[in-house]
Amino acid sequence: MEQFRNIGIIGRLDSVTVVETLRKLHAYLIDRNYQVILEENTSTMLPGHGLQVASSKLLGEICDLVIVVGGDGSMLGAARNLAKSKVPILGVNRGRLGFLTDIRPDELEDRLTEVLNGKYIEESRFLLDANVRRNGQSLGFGTALNDVVLHPGRSTRMIGFDLYIEGEFVYSQRSDGLIVSTPTGSTAYALSAGGPIMHPKLDAIVLVPMYPHTLSSRPIVVDGSSEIKIVVGAVGSNFPHVGCDGQTDISCAPGDTIYITRRPFKVRLIHPTSHNFYAACREKLGWASEIAAS
């Protein structure tokens, strides 16, 4: 197990509860003589902290561990910035579901002590790159840990598009769009649209249609290394958008092509030893914990 000495902290902005946890985390680490580096925006929430400050990307170069305090959205942003540096990331949940930020604030010190003593579970999650091209020229680029989504933006019109997987034509469809999700994102937006839950260890991508204008369209699961190409219909389509994790948005036009591929760098996530994917599903999704006695 790695020895963590230089620890970066990223917090969700504009949250009183996050500030409370940041103060507790700061005191815990300083009392134990760890070198603490605050992400530059996070530092504004702790006036007078007296700590080193760095950009989120620089944290990956100078830290042995980065702790994210917030919700899954905060973790998604940190993951995209830190994946290339291969620094492990630990999440403290100050959001709602918390599939990625799985340490509760009330157990912060106990769980953090375990992790810093080398008792933790590590896993890798892959990301997706999305490249929108027009007439052979790149129009926009984005990265996603959860999903890449073709959606109508503010329009209420359906989108016409053609789907290709590994260069092979799959179908033409008219719908509200398409969700291209990693296993990490299968418990997020894709789940709401009727997609399957995929175990995080799977090397697979799921494509989930959004309100397709047909009764026979279903989610498709493909190999994680597949190249996915979406061609926006040149006739009768509106001007859709491509979103990455709901945090990056690229405007498209009829005839544009979206290429989606697996990113070469994976995110390293750290979990307490008590972490269990199925237990998280039971808790977050309201699954029954046991069969009721007859």
State the Cα–Cα distance between residues 145 and 148, nearest whole angstrom.
9
Known catalytic membership, residue 129: no
For residue 279, say whether it is annotated as part of any ligand binding site: no
For residue 188, say whether it is annotated as part of any ligand binding site: yes
For residue 187, say whether it is annotated as part of any ligand binding site: yes
For residue 14, say whether it is annotated as part of any ligand binding site: no
Residues 6+ apart with CB under 8 A from 131: 138, 140, 141, 258, 259, 260, 261
State the Cα–Cα distance between residues 85 and 268, nearest whole angstrom.
10
For residue 174, say whether it is annotated as part of any ligand binding site: yes
Q: Which residue among the candidates 14, 31, 64, 72 is catalytic per the annotation?
A: 72
For residue 190, say whether it is annotated as part of any ligand binding site: yes
State the Cα–Cα distance between residues 11 and 27, nearest whole angstrom.
15
For residue 42, say whether it is annotated as part of any ligand binding site: no
For residue 3, say whether it is annotated as part of any ligand binding site: no
For residue 191, say whether it is annotated as part of any ligand binding site: yes
Question: In this structure, are residues 278 and 157 in contact, taking their beta carbons and an 8 Å threshold?
Answer: no
Annotated binding site for NAD(+): 72-73, 146-147, 157, 174, 176, 187-192, 247
What positions carry a catalytic annotation? 72
Annotated binding site: 72-73, 146-147, 157, 174, 176, 187-192, 247
